[in-house]
Structure 1
Amino acid sequence: MIYILVAKTEQQELFYLTGKHTRTELREMRQRKQFFCPSCKAPLRLKIGEINIPHFAHQTRTDCDTFSEPESSLHLQGKLLLYKFFSQLNLKAELESYLPQIRQRADLLVNRHLAIEFQCSTIPVQQLKQRSEGYLKMKLKPVWIKGLKESCPEGISLLGLKTHEIEMRQNVAETFFILLFYPPDNRFYYHSSLFYVSSNRWVGKTKSIEASKQVFPFAIPKLLTKEEFNKVLGIFQNVRQQYIRSQLYNENRIKSLYCRLCYELQLDMANLPAHFGIPLLGAECLKQPAVLWQLQAAAAWEKGISVDGLIASGKLVLSDPSRAPEATEIMSRYLDLYLLLKEGFSKDSSFLEITYDNYCKNLRKLRK
């Protein structure tokens, strides 16, 4: 069943369910008005319960707007609150605007140049990309907002992020973040400073802001403080130790790439130097644990093999072959850090100081 918040009347006027009318007023309108779907023109039923948000629904099963997701009360509530958020900022917000050229219905159109998608359920990545491409064809900028069923703990932590959630990342002035919205508290959340760990695991910062204090264009997350980055390092060190233990207890250590690399570099497999397994932004183009691809980079450098040569060898596992240029950039950045750290630390430069300075410099370089 597809639930919607906007319909057309017999006079071809749009009628919005934005909370302006009481349930009693809506029941009276239902008796004397007929409503139709703006997309497929089929008759709609106005549903007015005591618990759920009033909404429209198709009277019969229909293949209307194949891109629409089944609505939940959370989704309906979120769209209404986002509509009010933009309206209160004196922006022209259109709720559930149907675009016949691409057969898509945007949750919100803002100032006729921004398509807001409030996504509460899992969506195939290909479908997400297809919707975004459709908006871009219409010269609309797509903005995906993840709907939350519960509030998030704030601070630096290990996050479980699904593939489609990563695809929702926004890039504003080379600052990547996922924007989320929790309707029950009318509050926005951010997942930012995301460092890839493995599979669906990332380390990042979660921060929230009340809708009444949010701005538009949306606020951009700040750089991590040194204390916050130190927490990121701590989580990466724990993940690294877990990986090392799994390799040490590997029944076939002879075939273990980790063990072979440690042997080549003459390193103690159980006690690696701190400069292996460092968090770097953008490393998701490499689908291996940080400690493993960084050992490969170091081993190649010690043998006089260039970064391009290492990538061309196929020994590194890339998330996608087309991301080879990104992998080259990331590995080059790491080797600069590796050469600095392998010499040890001076009295004035600790491991934290060096790695945090590297993080800040690279981020500022990207933002120029």
Structure 2
Amino acid sequence: MLTAIKKDGTWITLPEKIPANKIDEWRRSADYYCPCCKMEMTIKAGNVRIPHFAHKNSSSCRASSEPESAYHLKGKRKLFQWLLSHGYQVDLEAYLPEIKKRADILVRIGGNRYAIEFQCSVIPEVEFIERTRAYQSIGIKPIWILAAKRLKRKSLYEFSLTRFQWLFITGSFHHPFLWMYCPETDHLSVLKNLTPFTPRTVFAELTTASLKFLPPSRALPQNCFGFPFLSAWRYKRNGWSLHRVKTARRCDPFFEELYSHHITPATLPIEVGLPVRGMLLIDTASIEWQAWLYMDVFQEKRTGEKISMADIICIFRKHSKKGEIKFRPLPLLHEKPIEYPVGQYIMLLEQLGYLSKLEEGVFKVEREFSLAFTSDQAQILEKNFYDKHKLMMEKGNIQYNQ
């Protein structure tokens, strides 16, 4: 902790550096207490650790959820100073007695209060969600910022996110993004337009700016109204088709179902595994949950036959109950029904000319999916599909339109 209270109730914030010959003088000058649990604290400092307060005795202080690294202490101090330098009403390590929580930073912007949490360590998912809900229950909007050093980048547009890191996603289902900060470089970063391919692999754009030149009012990322990852998506999908079976578990129900329908991963229709809005709700890879719908709904349908949205949703729920389609919690986004991505997938098929709406919730098959018999034929169908629909997929705002 960087803040404490003295016996007379006044608050004190430690400076970033204390000369070695002054540390004992600071310690003797007053008694310090935790603003949260009121237990006595001491100043710790050294050649490695920056000056900070710590409980004198073993403490079960409810407001201190995990040990703080020098990286974390430095980060929240710099974020605090950044907001303070731009004239905002801001408190460092503000204790909120209504919920018995201590926010790294509490800032008032306009008529809203925001609790900023700079998270450098992994905490239990249930704790992340509980803390988020606690802030929201007293009208405070939580902003979770991930330590930038935690991000794993695989290529220009490809990143790997753990289940814990997915909890940080904010913005909206049309424009999702993730905040990151590095106190060592003093750079605030945004991973935006997140488009998941598998539970951990995600396509996104990374933008970075120095806090020195970035006013808080300009920190929110601009919305994207296109889909910039189509080439990367196609490459990844082709790789999945050719190699996914190598990592399949024995008796995997998904692959058992594929083979019972006389389909291999390499010959799945190209219409299976398309990026759609809201699919970040689903932890299961899009090519897999869309394949379940294909096998149970679309494969047996012929041109002119009807398809009911209610039947599609029923099948989707059946597979989710069996654990074959899984979901990811997104506590910082407004809640959407788990069927939302399915509706977006059906809407996309309608836009592409495969379905036409007869009435609300009822569609007619206008064109059947293109089932290949060999992997070579699948590659030809893939090229033809994207030659025809590439412009629409990239510029038609399928992914992020409002």
Give TM-score, length-normalised by structure 2.
0.76
Match in the other structure for 1:140: 140
The higher-RCO structure (CA 8 Å, 6+ apart) is 2
Tell me what 1:200 maps to.
Answer: 200
Query: Which SS does the other structure have where 1:195 is aligned?
Result: strand
CA distance in 1, matches of 2:222, 2:272: 28
Choose from 273, 276, 279 the match for 1:283.
279
Q: CA deviation at 1:319?
A: 2.8
- Secondary structure at the aligned position of 1:109 is classed as strand
How far the C-alpha of 1:118 sits from its partner, in A, is 0.8
Q: Give the deviation of 1:36 after TM superposition.
A: 1.1
Q: Cα distance 1:136–1:127, how it changes in 2: closer, same or farther (>3 A)?
A: same
> Cα deviation per residue 1:85-136 (whole Å; 9 max; x = unaligned)?
1112211221101111111000000127000011111111111111111111
Q: Helix, strand or coil: the match of 1:363?
A: coil
CA contact (8 A) 2:93 2:104 kept: yes
Superposed displacement of residue 180, structure 1 = 0.8
Structure 1 residue 198 displacement after superposition: 2.6
Amino acid at match of 1:205: E
Give identity over the alignment, percent. 21
Aligned twin of 1:330: 344
Pair 1:39-2:36 in alignment: yes
Whole-angstrom CA distance in 1 between matches of 2:259 and 2:307: 20
What does residue 236 of structure 1 align with? 237
Q: 2:309 aligns with which of 287, 307, 310?
A: 307
Query: What is the alpha-carbon distance in structure 2 between the residues aligned to residue 363 and residue 276 of structure 1?
Result: 19
Which consecutive residues of structure 2, in runs of 5 or more, have no partner in the other structure?
329-335, 355-366, 371-380
How many Å separate the matches in 1 of 2:149 and 2:255? 44
- Measured against aligned partners, the alpha-carbon deviations of 1:19-65 in whole angstroms (never above 9, x if no partner) come to 38655555433222221111111111111213321001111001112
Map 1:1-368 → 2, pairs under 5 A: 4-19=1-16, 24-66=21-63, 68-111=65-108, 113-149=113-149, 153=153, 156-171=156-171, 174-217=174-217, 218-223=219-224, 228-243=229-244, 256-261=256-261, 270-299=266-295, 300-301=297-298, 303=301, 304-313=306-315, 314-315=318-319, 317-319=324-326, 323-337=337-351, 339=353, 350-358=388-396, 360-365=397-402
State the Cα distance separating 1:7 from its structure 2 match: 0.6
> What CA deviation, in whole Å up to 9, does each residue of 1:320-350 have, x standing for no partner?
5984431432332342255359698999964
> Is residue 35–residue 45 contact of structure 1 (8 Å, CA) maintained in 2?
yes
Shift of 1:206: 2.4
Residue type at the aligned position of 2:279: A
Distance 2:25 2:228 in 1: 59
Distance 1:290 1:274 in 2: 12
Q: Supply the distance in 2 between the matched residues of 1:53 and 1:215 (Cα, whole angstroms).
A: 27
Note the aligned Cα RMSD (angstroms): 3.5
- 1:184 is displaced (CA, Å) by 0.9
Structure 1 residues 48, 130: closer, same or farther in 2, change over 3 A? same
Could you tell me how far apart the structure 2 residues matched to 1:186 and 1:227 are?
Answer: 28
Could you tell me which runs of 5 or more consecutive residues in structure 1 were left unpaired when the two chains were aligned: none
Count of residues in correspondence between the two structures: 356
CA shift, 1:186, in A, is 0.8
The CA distance in 1 between the partners of 2:242 and 2:337, in whole Å, is 28
* More divergent stretch after superposition (323-332 vs 6-15): 323-332
C-alpha distance in 1, partners of 2:273/2:254?
22
Contact 1:172–1:220 under 8 Å retained in 2: no
Q: Secondary structure at the match of 1:333?
A: helix
Assess if the C-alpha contact under 8 Å between 2:227 and 2:393 holds in 1.
Answer: no
1:56 match: secondary structure = strand
Q: Aligned AA for 1:292?
A: E
Q: Could you tell me which residue of structure 1 aligns to residue 373 of structure 2? A: none
- Higher deviation after alignment, 163-172 or 280-289: 280-289
The CA distance in 2 between the partners of 1:8 and 1:78, in whole Å, is 22
